[in-house]
């Protein structure tokens, strides 16, 4: 489980296709602290570390076909910046919100606006009323995860929403690379999904 508080962005150094799977080799400042079988969030996708090279400060993870279909990981290439977060410690503070690392779908950056030192990003996604009834939606002032970053929703609509990004988040995550057309990963709030499911039984 994660909190949506990104530690830093890592850099992809190699992409290898293997049948329907893709192996990604990345580098980051804490690569030599990782262990095989450890869970790590990549743009909001929980992946398992399968190899660590402490000398080169790199590690490898594998994405299967289902993950590649549901997320933006299939668009990564050498040099791509990826938001990283190690799993929560059981005695740690939940500074963001409960994030599973299970991406629901992708969205597209539709607008970027500077606002006196901060930024507003608008994202659009395919709306499905049946999925919305299951909690796959945003609500005003609710939580959403964008590329692994826990954010507060504003201007929530059926198929779009905005988030405000402060300078620190803009710098330490890959948000500073976003432009119109950038594809991002979304994970909707798990609490909303459970409440929607419970509500369906009471109808």
Residue 36, domain member (yes or no):
yes
Q: Report pLDDT digits (tens) over 164-184.
A: 999 999 999 999 999 999 999
Of 33, 51, 86, the domain-final residue:
86
pLDDT bracket for residue 93 (50, 70, 90): confident
Of 86, 120, 154, the domain-final residue:
86
What pLDDT is stored for residue 101 in this prediction? 96
Whether residue 117 is found in the same domain as residue 178: yes
Average pLDDT over residues 41-49: 98
* Alpha-helix residue ranges (DSSP H) falling in 107-180: 129-132, 167-172
Whether residue 57 is found in the same domain as residue 127: no
Integer angstrom CA distances of residue 92 from 2, 5, 20, 88: 11, 12, 37, 7
Q: Report pLDDT digits (tens) over 56-70.
A: 999 999 999 999 999
DSSP letters spanning 32-94: GG--TT-EEEETTEEEEEEEEETTTTEEEEEE-HHHHHHSSGGG--TT-EEEEEEPPPTTS--
Average pLDDT over residues 110-137: 95
Whether residue 72 is found in the same domain as residue 119: no
Residue 203 clears pLDDT 80, i.e. is over it: no
Residue 92 clears pLDDT 90, i.e. is over it: no
Residue 202 clears pLDDT 80, i.e. is over it: no
Residue 6 clears pLDDT 90, i.e. is over it: yes
Residue 91 clears pLDDT 90, i.e. is over it: no
Residue 181, domain member (yes or no):
yes
Residue 95, domain member (yes or no):
no
Q: Quote the CA–CA distance of 10 and 83 in Å, as a whole number.
A: 6
Q: Quote the CA–CA distance of 14 and 25 in Å, as a whole number.
A: 5
Whether residue 73 is found in the same domain as residue 109: no
Residue 3, domain member (yes or no):
no
Domain range holding 125? 105-202
Whether residue 33 is found in the same domain as residue 115: no
Average pLDDT over residues 29-56: 97
Residue 91, domain member (yes or no):
no
**Residue 121, domain CATH:** 2.40.30.20
What pLDDT is stored for residue 94 in this prediction? 85
The per-residue pLDDT of the chain, averaged, comes to 95
Q: Quote the CA–CA distance of 59 and 37 in Å, as a whole number.
A: 11
Residue 26, domain member (yes or no):
yes
Whether residue 193 is found in the same domain as residue 110: yes
What pLDDT is stored for residue 89 in this prediction? 84
Residue 92, domain member (yes or no):
no
pTM of the predicted model as reported, rounded to 2 decimal places: 0.94
Which helix H or strand E contains 136, and what residues bound it?
Answer: none
How many independent structural domains does the chain possess? 2
Whether residue 132 is found in the same domain as residue 184: yes
Residue 144 clears pLDDT 90, i.e. is over it: yes
């Amino acid at each position: 489980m994660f909190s949506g508080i990104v530690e830093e962005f890592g850099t992809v150094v190699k992409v290898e296709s293997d049948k329907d799977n893709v192996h990604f080799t990345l580098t980051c400042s804490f690569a030599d602290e990782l262990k095989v079988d450890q869970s790590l969030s990549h743009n909001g996708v929980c992946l398992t570390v399968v190899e660590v090279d402490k000398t080169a400060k790199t590690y490898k993870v594998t994405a299967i076909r289902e993950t590649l279909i549901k997320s933006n990981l299939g668009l990564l290439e050498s040099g791509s910046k990826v938001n990283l977060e190690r799993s929560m410690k059981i005695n740690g503070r939940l500074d963001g919100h409960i994030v599973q690392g299970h991406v629901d779908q992708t969205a597209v950056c539709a607008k970027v606006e500077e606002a006196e030192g901060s930024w507003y990003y608008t994202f659009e996604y395919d709306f499905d009323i049946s999925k919305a009834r299951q909690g796959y939606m945003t609500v005003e002032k609710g939580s959403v995860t964008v590329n692994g970053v826990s954010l507060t929703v504003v201007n929530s609509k059926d198929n779009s929403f905005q988030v405000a990004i402060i300078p620190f988040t803009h710098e330490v995550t890959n948000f500073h690379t976003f432009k119109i057309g950038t594809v991002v990963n979304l994970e909707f709030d798990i609490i909303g999904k459970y409440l929607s499911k419970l509500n369906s039984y009471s109808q």
